[in-house]
Each structure stands twice: as structure tokens, then as C-alpha cells.
Amino acid sequence: MLLEVEGLCVNYGHIEAIRDISFDVPEGSVTTLIGANGAGKTTTMKTISGLRKVRAGAVRFEGKDITNAAPYDRVKLGISQSPEGRRCFVGMTVRENLDMGAFVRNDRKSKAYKDDMDRVLALFPRLAERINQSAGTMSGGEQQMLAIGRALMARPRLILLDEPSMGLAPKLIAQIFSIIKEINEQGTTVLLVEQNAAQALKAADNAHILETGEIVRSGRGSELAGDDSVKAAYLGGDV
Amino acid sequence: MSNKTSKAGGFRARVTGLPKPVKFLGWIVLALLAYALPLLEPPFISTPGVDFGGVLFVVTMYGLVALGLNIVVGYAGLLDLGYVGFYAIGAYTVAILTSFHANWPLLLALPVGMLATLLGGIILGTPTLRVRGDYLAIVTLGFGEIIRLVAVNTEWLGTSKGISNIARPPSLELFEIPHLNWDTGVPLVDFNDSTTFIEFGVLDQIPYYWMGLTVVILVLIADKLIKDSRVGRAWEATREDEDAAELMGVPTFRFKLLAFATGAFVGGLAGGLYASRQSFINPQSFLLLFSILFLAAVVIGGQGNRWGVLVGAVLVAYLPQRFREFDDFRVLVFGLALVALAILRPEGLFPPRRTVRAKQLEQELDELEGAHDGHDGEAAARA
């Protein structure tokens, strides 16, 4: 198992953001957490990447306990994240942003680095066109692509994608999801957090549904997508 | 203003387009001119009534301090309102070691002073850099005052009487260099007025200026090397978005501490040199006002741009000396200038290229709005 989350509890002050969450991310899979606003999806992501401290529970990566590891150590181990709201470095150019993604690598002059850069630019031709443009001047969709590309530059084993479809037009959402699939096919395990349940379930091997800080359903993506109660609650009944 | 920035961009492009040897030669000529400035005593630029060499020395000290503070404020984005505290630690360490309690030579005391300041930076930074933004400003503000008050109240540090007889740099006294005399309107070589190369005496302050200028040049080179390295990129990412930087694998706390300590180190160097030149220091030399002036130099010049902050330092240190006759209005004019600057050039006189570039692109994008390139973005904004 690549990532194991066991009995995770996280508080914001006295408020319990997530309670006793457990799930696994198998190597090579696309695993998704879906749920409404405030269900605890982003908190779970931040806890896995180390930005949030846990109150109880454990996070293991390749069997190694990383519950209290610093965020930068987790990046070195192979977990990288495209955060909610993109969070591109708006003053830097596209190339500099991608280069920041490779910060933990010490091979900036090597062929492997260049190959990874080429791979990211092949995934997102739009970024290649704007390589010397400031990230802050790009559209939301382009910034999302940049955030994912930047996370890929660390050469992660596991990529965490937090709401990559947020605020994007339907055409762009479809494009982002096809790229997520491509990233997964190239060998990177994906943990995806989404409000767009329909697309996420379609893309995912495994899915977990979060409600007010707890996992209420788990199953295969396709299985949950066909489930009547899930349809009613998350898919607006029209899928 | 947009015209101006594009013109400046064109000039920059032309300069950077020059072949390497030409550029190198240009730098040498510029440096020589800077070294020769107090000997040339050019009319309008030199300061009537005040020793020009002394003014230039103070300018180099402000330049040094601005470069150091720019690392903290401009590169790492940490608002430090007590930078004078580091300046004071450097000055007092040198003062104590060379006169008050020991008889060390300056060249030995100076590195110790810089190390003491570095340590001060780490001790202050370790607990405080964990807090963000405004709190840091308040804590550093307090720090600067605490250092001064400790000096005022400690017998061992000379209390408000201060410390005198601080060691000067060692002299070499190799040869004499005559000054130019402009009294008749044409420049004449004046052999009655000359500077000994290199005598660190009491009257002639030009050798101190040369020393200050040399240190500024060395710090400039080091600054460029650091800024262009992995460290510089980590600072920039941390300044822009700390959480995102962490997610890229940047240990942000360590890099903030490094910026703080590096800045302190340079501040300590400036303080030590200043103490040596003055030969006398007391707590009055380290008032809160100086922290504000140092920060003003950085902000006016354009935080994040090493040449910008140098210009800021020159303005803050030189103009009041040049226009002494308007001394009474100094603070008033300074205030007006700051207000005008905040309105006309909020990013400083010479903001870093990055800020300029981002602005230009924004403008271009605005112009393109409606063209097919902008559509995705607009659709995204609507969704």
C-alpha cells in the first residue's frame, strides 16, 4: 500500500475538522475523496502533506510512519501536492514556477530534469506557449495546469490534487480530468479531492465519501457512481 | 508612467545586449569614478560646508545597511523595524573589544562583531520568525529599543556616556593623491590639498569612504551570487506564499532564519565600520529613527532590487547633507517626498524587474481582452 491513513483526527481549536478517518491509496491507483463544502476534504489533504498537525491517528507512506514529518521531508519522500486554489507563485514566470516544483531535487542540470520539464510541457502545451510569462497574468485554467505541472516536477510517487476543477469552465474540467488520467497512466499514483463528484467518480478506481468530517461510504468509483443514494445526494440525480 | 517603464526596459535591454568585455569595462569605469568622486569634488555634487568625504562615507554605510536590510525585507519579505539593533550590536562589540575592555586590533574585532550580530539574529529570529507579518514587525521594533536601552543602562557598556577611543583601521601611507580644485570654474590639480593613500586619520575621511565603498562592492557581489542561487529562489517562494513554498519542499522557517541572520551579519559589519570611523559611540547613535531611515532607504529605492535600495540609501543619506541650508524643513520635505512616492511609485523608485514585468504583462493582457486569447480566462472567471 502506497499511502495508509489510519484513525486520523484533526482539530481547528475546539472544532473537530475530521474524525477518525481511515483509508488506503493503493500504488498505481486513482483514489478520490468527495464531499460537500466543509466535509473535511482539504483538511485531510493538508494533513497528508504535513501542513496540519494531527490530534490522533497515523499517516504511513510506503509503510513508513510520516505522521509528524515536516512537509518538506514528505516532498523528498515522494508526496507532492497541487493545493486548493492553485497557489501558483504569481510573481514568477511559468518556468520559474515549474523549477520551484523541482526544489527538492539536486539534478537541475541533468537530462532527467530536462526530460521531466519536457514531459510536463507535453502534458500542458499551454504552459509551453507561456513559459516566460508571469503566472499571475494567466487564467484560472492555466494556473491550475501550472499547479499540477509544478507538483509533477518533484517526480512524486503520489500526487495530491485538491479541487483541480474548482472555478473552471466545463470544457476545461474535461481537459483537466483527461490529463489526470494520463498522469496516472504514466505511473504516478493520484489522490484526488473533488466537489465535482460526477467527474471524480468516473476517473477514480476507489472512492470515499466524506460528510462532516467522517467517511460515510467507500467503494469502487464506478460502483458509487451507480448507487442511487449517492446519485441523489452528490450527482444531482442526472448522471 | 507606462512610457517610462518601457523606455527603461529598452535601455536595460541595450545594456544587457552589450558584449561581455564591454560590460566588464563599463563596470570598471563606473567603479573608478565612484572611488575618485571625493577627489574630483565635482561642483553641485560635493557638499558645501560639510566634509564631502565624510558624507560619502556615511552614504556607503547606509548603502551597506540597505543591502543587508533588503535581504530581510526585500528578498524574504520579513518586516524588520528594529534593524538598528543589529547595527548597534556590531558597533558595540567592536567598541568593547578595541577600546573599553580589550585592546584588540580592528581587523580582529570586526569579524567577532559580525559573528556576534549573526548570533543575535539567530537568537532573535528563532522564536519570532514563527509568527507572521505584523507580529514580527512589533517584536523587532521592541528588539531595537531593548538593545539601545541595555546600552544606556549597563555600566559595562559605558551607559549614556558611550565608548570612545575605538580602534581605527590600520594605515598603509603609500603615496599622496592630489584633489581637484574648482574655485576658478575650471578644474585644477591642487597639490596643497591631497589625500594619503591609505591613511585612516582623524581629519581626512576619504580613505574611510574607499573602505566603505570596497565593502559595498564585495557585499553587492555576494548578494548577487546568493540571490541567483537556490537560496534566492527559496526566499522568493517563501515571500510569495509560505504554504505553497512548504509544499515545494522548502523548509521555510530555516530559510527565513537564514535571511534574518545574513541581514544581521551585514548590519553588524556596517555598525562595526561606523564605530571605527567615529572612534566614539553612544546610545544616541542607535535611535529608533535610524531603523526607520534604513527601512525608508529600502522602500524608497524599491525593495528586492539591490541597485534600487542603493539609490534609496544615497537619497536618504546624501540629500539632507547636500541641502543643509534647508535643515529646518528636512523632515517636512522628507515626509512630502514619501507621500508623493507612495502615490506615484508605490513599488519604489526602482522596483525589481519582476514587478515591472508583471505589470507590463497585465497591461498587455488588458489590451488583448476580447481577443480570442482571453476567452478561457473569462469563462473561468464566470464559472
A42: closest CA of chain B, how far (Å):
14
A65-91 per-position pLDDT tens digit: 999 999 999 999 999 999 999 999 998
Q: Is some CB atom of chain B closer than 8 A to the CB atom of A84?
A: no
B157-209 per-position pLDDT tens digit: 888 888 988 888 888 878 888 888 887 777 778 777 788 888 888 888 899 99
Label residues B270-284 b or e (16+ Cβ within 10 Å = b): bbbbbbbbbbebbbe
Interface contact B357-A134, CB threshold 8 A: yes
State whether residue A117 is helix, strand or coil: helix
Q: What angle do CA B279, B89, B72 make, to 5 degrees?
A: 120
B340-382 per-position pLDDT tens digit: 888 888 888 888 876 666 666 666 666 666 554 444 444 444 4
pLDDT computed for residue B144 by the predictor:
94
B245: closest CA of chain A, how far (Å):
8
* Chain A neighbors of B378, CB-CB under 8 A: 139
What's the pTM? 0.87
- Could you give phi then psi for residue A219, rounded to 5 degrees? 170, -175
Interface contact B248-A154, CB threshold 8 A: yes
Question: pLDDT band for position B255 (50/70/90)?
Answer: very high
pLDDT computed for residue A175 by the predictor:
92
Rounded Cα distance, A184 and A159, in Å:
9
Question: pLDDT band for position B5 (50/70/90)?
Answer: very low
pLDDT computed for residue B378 by the predictor:
44
* Chain B neighbors of A171, CB-CB under 8 A: 379
B275-316 per-position pLDDT tens digit: 999 999 999 999 998 999 999 999 888 888 999 999 999 988
Q: How far is CA B59 from the centre of its chain?
A: 9
- Residue B17 in this model has a pLDDT that exceeds 80: no
Q: Which residues contact A59 (CB under 8 A, 6 or more apart)?
A: A3, A4, A5, A6, A8, A47, A48, A65, A66, A67
A88-131 per-position pLDDT tens digit: 999 899 999 999 999 999 888 899 999 999 999 999 999 999 99
pLDDT computed for residue B48 by the predictor:
77
Interface contact B361-A89, CB threshold 8 A: no
B28-57 per-position pLDDT tens digit: 999 999 998 888 888 888 887 788 889 999
Q: Which residues contact A145 (CB under 8 A, 6 or more apart)?
A: A124, A126, A127, A176, A179
B93-123 per-position pLDDT tens digit: 999 999 878 889 999 999 999 999 999 999 9
User: Of B240, B246, B378, which has the smallest distance from its Cβ to A72's Cβ?
Assistant: B246
A197: closest CA of chain B, how far (Å):
17
Strands A56-61 and A3-12: antiparallel
Complex ipTM value: 0.91
Best of B231, B248, B355, B376 to mutate (most A CBs within 10 Å, chain A): B248
The larger pLDDT score, comparing residue B344 to residue B324, is at B344
Q: Which residues contact A133 (CB under 8 A, 6 or more apart)?
A: A93, A94, B361
The residues on B that touch A, with CB distances below 8 Å, are: 230, 233-234, 236-237, 240-241, 243-251, 354-355, 357-358, 361-362, 365, 374, 376-383
Task: State which residue of chain B sits closest to A168, comparing Cα positions.
Answer: B380
Interface contact B237-A138, CB threshold 8 A: no
The CATH architecture that domain B2-366 belongs to is Orthogonal Bundle (1.10)
Domains of chain A, by residue range, sit at 91-153
- Could you give phi then psi for residue A158, rounded to 5 degrees? -130, 125
A1-35 per-position pLDDT tens digit: 999 999 999 999 888 999 999 999 999 999 999 99
Burial environment of residue B187 by CB neighbours within 10 A (0 to 12, 13 to 18, 19 or more): middle
Best of A92, A109, A124, A139 to mutate (most B CBs within 10 Å, chain B): A139
Residues A40, A21 contacting (CB under 8 angstroms): yes
